[in-house]
Each structure stands twice: as C-alpha cells, then as structure tokens.
Structure 1
Amino acid sequence: MLSQRKVALLALAALAIAIGLPFDALAHGISEADRQRMLSGGYLQYVGLGATHMLTGYDHLLFLFGVVFFLTSFKDVTKFVTVFTIGHCITLIFATFYKITWNYYLIDAIIAISVIYKGFDNNGGFQKHFQMKSPNLLAAVFGFGLLHGFGLSTRLQQLPLGDDSTSMLLRILSFNLGVELGQIAALAAMVALLALWRHRPSFKRFSYAANLGLVFAGVFLLFMQLHGYQHDSDPDSFRFPIEEHKHVHDDMEIEKSAADPSRDSLD
C-alpha cells in the first residue's frame, strides 16, 4: 500500500499539471476569433465549436472522469452518461433560447465544486467523514448535468445567435450537437483508458490518489474562478489598476529623465 505521503505527492503532481496549463486554456471561454467566425459561419461552425468547447472543457471532463471512474459495465456507463446528457441539454437549450444567464465565473466555480464532490464521493468521503451513505448518484449526476449545461449556455450566449427564433434555435441545437459529439469522443477515450488500467494492480493502489487529485484540481479551479469573478466584478480593487499602473510607469520615466539629463537631449 502507498503511504499517505506518497498519495498526497501524487495528488499534488496532478494539481501541478493543472497549474502549469496556460490561463487561456483554463478559461475555456468564447474567444473573439470564435465570435467573428460565427458571424459568417453556418450551422456546421456551431457544431465544430460545440465539440471543441467540450473537448477543451477541463471541468466538464474532470467531472465525467469521476463519474465513470468506477463504472465497469457498458450499461452503467450508458445510464449515467445519458442522465448527465439530458440534464445539460435541458439547461443549455432552454437557458440559451430564453436568454437566462448569470455570471459565468460563478457558474464555473459551482461546476468546480461538482468536481470536488465527485472525487470526495469516489474516495468514500461521505462514509468516512459523515458516517452516511452517499447521496443518490443518479440524482446527483442529473443535478450537476443541469448545472454544467447552464455553464455551457452562458458561453454560447456570448455568440451571435441572431434575432430570428428559428435560426437561433437551430444554432443552439447545432452547438449542442457538437457538445454531444465532443463528449462521446472524450468518454470513449476515458472508458477505454480506465478499462485497460482497471485490470492492472496499479489501479487499486492509485485510484485513491487519482480521486484525491480530482478534489485538489476542483479546489484549484474553484479559487481560479472566484479570482476571475473578483477581477470581472471589481477590476480596480487589485493592487495595480490599469490607470495606476500607467501612472507608475510615467513616474518611472520622469525619474529616469531627471537622473540622466542626456536622455532629454537625445530625444
């Protein structure tokens, strides 16, 4: 058996990988290039964007990885993934169509909690720390599916969807189709990897560390999204607001000129 120290080191290594990703990759939002491309693109563009968004949606993928981690039969995988899919389709389609939205940093922060929840549950956290059975997993996956779909909706609403109801609905459904295709591709890779790993002795030894890594990654994502929300809601509350930062540079230039009068003559 691995010592707790080694387990913690493995979990921290997983977190270090997440921290090492560029911030743009972690943000997984809708870029300006995506917006411009959608202005002249057809429905297939929305399908492609939906697939890409899911395949780069680290928080959605981490949660799904936690859901299928201990599922050993195709029937169980299908059941839980279907429930999750129904949940996120409901909020993705209806919230987008009726323009129901919220701050996407806060939604993604709650989605990060779903990652923490799944890792905690997979490691028997409810039994160890609360002396109770885990909440109904099927209901939890459906509820989190609704939440993940709302997160996807907030990003989709940043795109030009048009004012015509029919065209808007078709764009939403196209994006949703892309999300499902991306999800299928990601899940196929996850399930295949887990199926191969599950038959090796290392699976039993490292499964606790892997799910502890999920918890740590979820905590990191939670703080990252809360930090993003603070920047978004009150950017001037940080140490160097834009105007203050500009003044600091101006003052530095004045001090340099005073210390070296030859700079002014050269200018």
Structure 2
Amino acid sequence: MQLALLRGSLRLFIAPLSLLLTLLLVLLLLGISEQALAHAVAQGDKGYIQEISGVKLIAFIYLGAKHMVTGYDHLLFLLGIIFFLYRLRDITLYVSLFALGHSTTMVIGVYFNLAINSYIIDAIIGLSVVYKALDNLGAYQRWFGFQPNTRVMTMVFGLCHGFGLASKVIDYEIAQDGLLPNLIAFNVGVEMGQLIALSAILILMGYWRRQPSFFKHAYSANVLMMGAGFTLIGYHLVGLAVS
C-alpha cells in the first residue's frame, strides 16, 4: 500500500513537469532581474577576478561551472536538444556539437576581444530556445514542408551561445597575464557544469519518459519552452532599449 502511494505521488510530481519548468524560469528571472537588466556579472566574482593576475585555473574552472549551472537560457536550450533523444550516441553527438560551438566562440571572442552587445546576443540565445521548441513540435514540417538540419542548427546556435559566454567573461575584465590558460580553464568549467546539468536533466527525463502521460505533457512542455524563449527575447530587447 505504501509503495503504491509512493508511486502515485511520483506520478503526480512528474505529470505537471512542464508547469514546473515554467515556474523555475519565472523564479530565476525574478531572482536575477536586477542583474539581468544591468547585464552585470556577480559583483563578488567580478571584484575577485579584477584583483588577481596570472594563471588561476581552479578559480576560472569554478566560475565556468557556476555560470553554466546557473545559466537558465543555456539550460533551456540544452533541455530542448535532448528532449526527444533517447540513444546515448545521439545525445553525445548533439551535446558535443553544442559544446564545440560555444567553446570555439567563447575562447575566440574573449581572446580577440570580439564583443557583441550582450542584450542582442542574449536575445538570439532566447531565439535559439524558441527554434528548438518549434523543432520539437514539428512546426517546420507542417508550416514550411521542410526540416532544418538539426545538427547544423545545433552547431550554429552553439556558436551564438559561445558569444554570450564571451560577453560575460569580457565583463570580468580579466588580466592579460595568463589569459589563455585562464580562458581554457573557464571553458573546462563550463563543460563540467554542462555535464552536471545534463546528468540531472537526463535522470528526470528518463523517469518522465516512462510515464504514460509523457507524450501528452511533452507538447505542453515545448509550448511553454517556446513561451520562455519569447520571454527571454523580449526581456533582453527591453534591456537593450533602456540601456
């Protein structure tokens, strides 16, 4: 009896998972609204980075992991990527394409100081979430009669996410002494954070997919994900207008 009640409780938790995704996004937006509009990095982190010079691998690994784990826009896109991927080979391929894209532009963007307006690039990142949600819903086939190459688009949006990462790193005003090793360490941290977040997402998705209600709620989840992407686009465009 207790086991049956426990299973029933778990089903009640998993069934409205799509609603929890939206609630999580709202809480994150409310929690960081002031920093997001100012588009500033955490002042404690920024102050520490500005005071140090030389190779500081551990510090930058930590900052990279922290940024990815708390980067709700990156995590939404990552969720969209793996939403309907079941085989480990496919998950590895698409996540690797995403990682290759954002790693490349992050290092190049910071090293050569190729700064793109943070609000614009973050609005594009919001667009990537909208794109992936529509892709998961099969909208392109129904609307236009063709399917964009998902591998190419994952790589392209990975490049855009990398410029978003670069804009955050440039805000740190890192010392030139030890810049390249520190950038590599930051990127390693980003990948570690991505692996941690991906593992948590896959555990939840793995359980959810085994529920009879998965496909029923999968549609709602992607609609809400699309709405979240449009919210991010509007949020950063407003930030651009008032900055």
CA radius of gyration, larger in: 1
Match of 1:40 in 2: 52
Q: Please give the alpha-carbon distance, in whole angstroms, between the structure 2 residues aligned to 1:90 and 1:72.
A: 27
Q: Please give the alpha-carbon distance, in whole angstroms, between the structure 2 residues aligned to 1:13 and 1:93.
A: 34
Which amino acid is 2:75 matched to?
L
Match of 1:69 in 2: 83
Counterpart mapping for 1:21-170 below 5 A: 21-25=28-32, 27=36, 29-38=40-49, 39-40=51-52, 42-130=56-144, 132-164=145-177, 167-170=178-181
Q: Please give the alpha-carbon distance, in whole angstroms, between the structure 1 residues aligned to 2:146 and 2:94.
A: 19
Counterpart mapping for 1:240-255 below 5 A: none
Query: Cα–Cα, structure 1 residues 182 and 90, in superposed 2: closer, same or farther, change >3 Å?
Result: same
SS in structure 1 at match of 2:116: coil
**1:223 equivalenced with 2:234 (yes/no):** yes
Q: Please give the alpha-carbon distance, in whole angstroms, between the structure 2 residues aligned to 1:174 and 1:20.
A: 30
Higher normalized contact order (CA 8 Å, seq sep 6+, divided by chain length): 2
Q: Please give the alpha-carbon distance, in whole angstroms, between the structure 1 residues aligned to 2:41 and 2:31.
A: 10
Q: Please give the alpha-carbon distance, in whole angstroms, between the structure 2 residues aligned to 1:85 and 1:51.
A: 13
The total of aligned residue pairs comes to 221
SS in structure 1 at match of 2:148: coil
Q: Please give the alpha-carbon distance, in whole angstroms, between the structure 1 residues aligned to 2:237 and 2:32.
A: 17
TM-score (norm 1): 0.78
Contact 1:101 / 1:153 at 8 angstroms: preserved in 2?
Answer: yes
Which amino acid is 1:79 matched to?
L
Gapped regions of structure 2 (runs ≥ 5) = 1-15
**1:193 equivalenced with 2:211 (yes/no):** no
Shift of 1:127: 1.7
Gapped regions of structure 1 (runs ≥ 5) = 1-8, 233-267
**1:174 equivalenced with 2:150 (yes/no):** no
Query: Cα–Cα, structure 1 residues 146 and 163, in superposed 2: closer, same or farther, change >3 Å?
Result: same
SS in structure 2 at match of 1:91: helix
Shift of 1:161: 1.9
**C-alpha RMSD of the superposition:** 2.0
Shift of 1:14: 4.9
Aligned-residue identity in percent: 38
Q: Please give the alpha-carbon distance, in whole angstroms, between the structure 2 residues aligned to 1:133 and 1:29.
A: 40
TM-score (norm 2): 0.85
Shift >6 Å, 4+ stretches: 9-13
Contact 2:69 / 2:197 at 8 angstroms: preserved in 1?
Answer: yes
Which amino acid is 1:66 matched to?
G
SS in structure 1 at match of 2:115: coil
Query: Cα–Cα, structure 1 residues 195 and 98, in superposed 2: closer, same or farther, change >3 Å?
Result: same
Shift of 1:160: 3.1
Q: Please give the alpha-carbon distance, in whole angstroms, between the structure 1 residues aligned to 2:28 and 2:175.
A: 34
Shift of 1:13: 7.3
Q: Please give the alpha-carbon distance, in whole angstroms, between the structure 1 residues aligned to 2:40 and 2:222.
A: 26
